[in-house]
Structure 1
């Protein structure tokens, strides 16, 4: 674990980029006018201590009327309130800054009472200390007051870190610790959030927390959680820098069988993930993680977690491609034969996009005049799945990451085949 940032009182808040501190000065000014207290909380405080990059959103705890403060802030900054939920006292504000849009997630300080395991909580307004006590891990239970240095002054005051549960010490030790013994019982999704943190920060659960996690799993608490909440956490895991590592850790910790028993980690996953373009979205990553599932298991996964249509279609397409890989591996395939194997994945329609051209195994392939997202994804999937082949026809048929797709011509299938193969032959017989 890297050493934590050394700071004196007030220095930590000012370690934020200037456009962040400018916004916090505006928040502090309005908070003073509305007679509410404001704290910076959660991951941003943790990342400041670790000297890690700060994302484009900040979590703030408010002692007072959160919704009123959100609307006042939006009005004062030409921003907008994008969400509000009065029962929980939460609101989201998007603000324009010199460096782009900044999102503030405001939440009323509160306590949470869980009537039974995995239930949604009953909330009551509370102090900031009580609010920190409801959080998942000590490293996320720290706060920095946001206030002005003096009345009518635009300068942020020097403030001390509020750390009632020794989160800074756990950061220094490099461990994740829950705040109380009922934490996973109250909210089993904390196991999944902890899993993501453990992988991203390279911080294991400390022994007592690991024992509580094992007990929660043996009591099937994840099975008592709604599939929608599990799906939300899985989607967040797919957005992690290394979702395959999260899957591996989930299996090692015994979490994976409680999410979906048919899902397993295997070494090829890391190879496939490395072949993804940097812009790969969560759907493509999900396809990698579920690539080896059977058709029945895919159907069960889609039904259990009520996957949206685009995700369900991708899972089915990847399964179909898995079955077609033996044919796609044939290096003697002509363009028309390759087109016939991949053409079913182009049924989703076409849209204008860049022509795809790439060279592999010494053969230059023809440009594709139309694009189809499903078709391009199918070709890319087939390439990614070919872990044992450095270059093969599908890798050259469509450039990875580009929105290429099947040519769409009027006329007979025979004419289509002739045109495809003529384009390839016209460049010379360069096949190996």
Structure 2
């Protein structure tokens, strides 16, 4: 069987992503030189690697995304620590991000492959490893999110990536369903990646678990749900299990609309998952991780934006652009589709956009005042789900941790400080209010 071939557009996005990673690594290493001068050499190596990538980008008539570097460097520091000594493994973490870049773009560089790889080897050889691994952070349950004072006309639960088939997938999903059944929610939306390996059995298990919800529920497809690892190919297991083609849907409930977008791109990738701990690809294939929307889903967005439209929430698996977490650009929704979604929000009919895929709480931007929120998953820190309380002129959003403290404590025993800082997110991402009449100011991020 021949190796999958990426489209030229995705190859370019990979190069764009790698350039941002290298430029941001250079900025982070530069900020660490005051406490350890040896990071000046690491900064120089990252700058040289960025220059190699830039040459290939320019040959594609594409300038580097320099405006994303500062935000991506801030993300790196938010996870690794502001200083090199903040966490024992911070330096290795920054090196592994470079390993990801080198592993994904080597086949698509016009020139400089050997130099890029040699610089990466120098990075790895220069890492100073700690004498012992850091301990698991102390488990502190999140405070219970208070319910709104009153006037709630509709409560909607938002359940992110379940990954049935993973170590904690089934237990955490069942715990979330039990909590949601007790939450007063009248509707539940699941944000994709129902399965871990895309197997028919995993999707069937997801359907069985979700069928225990005491209210109507709907789900979108994630990138893990379109490719079966055991079969080694793209499949239609999602459609066979959930009874609809992944072409999006527009649901009406209690005088509100809920637009479901199926953003998983049905394209094979020559790359399997990359392990940031080992710096290597895991065995097996997969689908591309970037998201995209079909023409039919653009038509759905046009209907949402139509004059006099009903208030609508939009749900999809992939976060929107500009995506500056990791990996930047390529892990989010395609630029074209993000722009179409942004234009739909401009209509005034959209009240909120909710995404999965990233396994974290984040609200890094608004689309002209409309919040775009990433919802953390029940199976990874901080272990929970979202609740939307719709009122007459807007809504309150809150993230709720699973109430099964024994399960949460058990899962927490396998976390670390990096996962804590990555997944928890700031308070403004875990709880906020939005009112339609409020002034639409600049993006919060």
Relative contact order (C-alpha < 8 Å, sep 6+): which is higher?
A: 2
Structure (1/2) with the larger strand percentage: 2
TM range (shorter): under 0.3
TM-score, normalised with respect to structure 2: 0.27
TM-score normalised according to structure 1 size: 0.28
Larger Rg: 1
